[in-house]
Amino acid sequence: MSVTSEVRVRYAETDQMGVVYYSNYLVLFEIGRVELMRSLGMAYSQLEEAYGCILPVAEARCRYRASARYDDILQIETRPALVRKSMVKFAYKIWRKTSEGEERKLLAEGETTHVVCDKEMKMARLPEKYVTALKALITEE
């Protein structure tokens, strides 16, 4: 099961090729995983504040299929792809939303792998309720 967020492309995100600059897709991925956590009733900001737990990225990967353009409405589809006590992997699909009746277009897909750390960047464990909620999403899929 995945969670979908919508954002509109900002002028600031385009480059002189007239399309969204390639690093900005990783910002979209971040929006996606934050919304996925929020949809579970567990804001990422809370994870950081209440549990002193951060999720630095160990690896990021993006495959670009078609260009996002200024003012496009993008749908960011995020799902947990792997959940371990000290590691989480999310998978993303970025779609261009289209008018009713038309099929939406896949623009990019990717994955990010996160290690669970405390605020001193030492290996830590993801709080149990996060593990459970994320794993439930994978099972449902």
Q: Which residues bind a copy of itself (CB under 8 A)?
A: 10-12, 14-19, 21-27, 30-31, 34, 43-45, 54, 56-64, 67, 70-71, 121
Q: How far is the CB of 48 from a copy of itself (least distance, A)?
A: 8
Q: How far is the CB of 62 from a copy of itself (least distance, A)?
A: 5
- The C-alpha atoms of residue 93 and residue 75 are separated, in whole angstroms, by 8
Cβ proximity to a copy of itself: between 69 and 135 the closer is 69
Q: How far is the CB of 42 from a copy of itself (least distance, A)?
A: 12
Q: How far is the CB of 27 from a copy of itself (least distance, A)?
A: 5
Three-state SS annotation for the chain:
CCEEEEEECCHHHECCCCCECCCHHHHHHHHHHHHHHHHCCCCHHHHHHHHCEECCEEEEEEEECCCCCCCCEEEEEEEEEEEECCEEEEEEEEEECCCCCCCCEEEEEEEEEEECEECCCCECCCCHHHHHHHHHHHHHC
Q: How far is the CB of 53 from a copy of itself (least distance, A)?
A: 12
Angle at 18 between CA 70 and CA 98, to 5 degrees: 40
